[in-house]
Amino acid sequence: MSRYTLASSIFNRLTGLVLSVGLLLLVYWLMAIAAGPSAFARALRLLSLPAAKLAYAALTVAFCYHLIAGIRHLVWDTGHALERAQSRLSAYLVVAVSLALVLLIAWYAWLSGTRAP
Amino acid sequence: MSLRTPLGKVLGLGAARDGVQHWWTQRLTSVALVPLSIWFVVSLLTLPSLDHATVVAWMSQSWTALLLIILVLVATWHSQLGVRVVVEDYVHGTGARTVTLVAMLFAHVLLAGAGVFAVLKVACGGAA
């Protein structure tokens, strides 16, 4: 037993928890929009703090990893790719694909650039 | 030799007392969240701006509102199922565990309700 199984399992849980906290942010954002333009402007000050931007980065990483790792779990549930070598390969594949996804989102967000938050 | 009791076998229940329901619901919500979450992220990235007027106009479209409501419900449901497993694994002592589980359930219901309420309010023109 090597440590990658442990790492991929823990990281899937951890990113899931991060996304659960992210739901709080999502609902706060939705409530702020519903509260009208002036309330939204106040909320936007909070949502464009450096700490909030750090949270967006963490959420992007968590989302990408949890999405791809979740698809790996769904493939397992069909009974496929459960052999040790395949599982090892898919663990690294998940990291590679989710990292590429993070870069894609970051690139796109940066490209569409100046708009806040 | 099977470790399952004859009664457990008949009822289809495991140690978690509610059988495969939790496992199955977690899978169903996962499957639904793949397209829903990708749709949401792509929408956020492709909106021309994230200012109030643009987002309200976007959320006022019927399909957007509908999908957002489903996203909020399914995501909080999936989150509730996941958080529950983590609490069951790491919070020890029946009292502390029960209190944490109930608090997490209430928090998730509150989140789901608030999210759906907000989307409906915007979609019905209440955020102008």
* Tokens matching residue A20: 């659960």
- Is residue A116, in this structure, part of any structural domain at all? no
Residue ranges making up the domain that contains A36 = 3-111
Q: Alpha carbon of B115 to those of A27, A46, B78, B121: distances in Å? A: 5, 19, 15, 10
State pLDDT tens for residues A11-50: 999 999 999 999 999 999 999 999 999 999 999 999 999 9
What pLDDT sits at residue A117? 46
| DSSP category for residue B15 | T
Q: Please give the structure tokens belonging to residue A39.
A: 């309330």
Contact A101/A64 with Cβ under 8 angstroms?
Answer: yes
pLDDT tens digits for chain B (128 residues)? Answer: 567 777 777 776 665 566 678 889 999 999 999 999 999 999 999 999 999 999 999 999 999 999 999 999 999 999 999 999 999 999 999 999 999 999 999 999 999 999 999 999 999 998 87
**Which chain A residue lies closest to B41 (C-alpha atoms)?**
A105
Kindly list the residues of chain A whose beta carbon comes within 8 Å of any beta carbon in chain B.
13, 16-17, 19-20, 23-24, 26-27, 30-31, 33-37, 40-41, 63, 67, 70-71, 73-74, 77, 105, 108-109, 112, 115-117
Q: Where are the domains of chain B?
A: 20-123
Q: Which residues of A65-93 are buried (b: 16+ CB within 10 A; e: fewer)?
A: bbbbbbbbeeeeeeeeeeeeeeeeebbee
pLDDT of residue A82: 87
Give a yes or no: residue A7 inside a domain.
Answer: yes
How many Å is the maximal CA-CA distance in chain A?
56
Q: Which residue has the tokens 């996203």?
A: B71
Residue A117 falls inside a structural domain: no
Complex-level ipTM: 0.91
Chain B residues with a Cβ under 8 Å from any Cβ in chain A: 27, 30-31, 33-34, 37-38, 41, 45-46, 49-53, 55-56, 59, 68, 72, 75-76, 79, 82-83, 86, 111, 114-115, 117-119, 121-122, 126-128
Which among A19, A32, A7, A34 is positioned nearest to A94, based on CA atoms? A7
Q: Domain for residue A84, yes or no?
A: yes
Residue in B51, B68, B74 to test binding to A, most A beta-carbons within 10 Å: B51
pLDDT at A98 over 70: yes
For chain A, the domain total comes to 1
- Architecture category of domain B20-123 in CATH: Up-down Bundle (1.20)
Distances (CA, A) of A37 to A28, A41, A79, B53: 14, 6, 50, 8
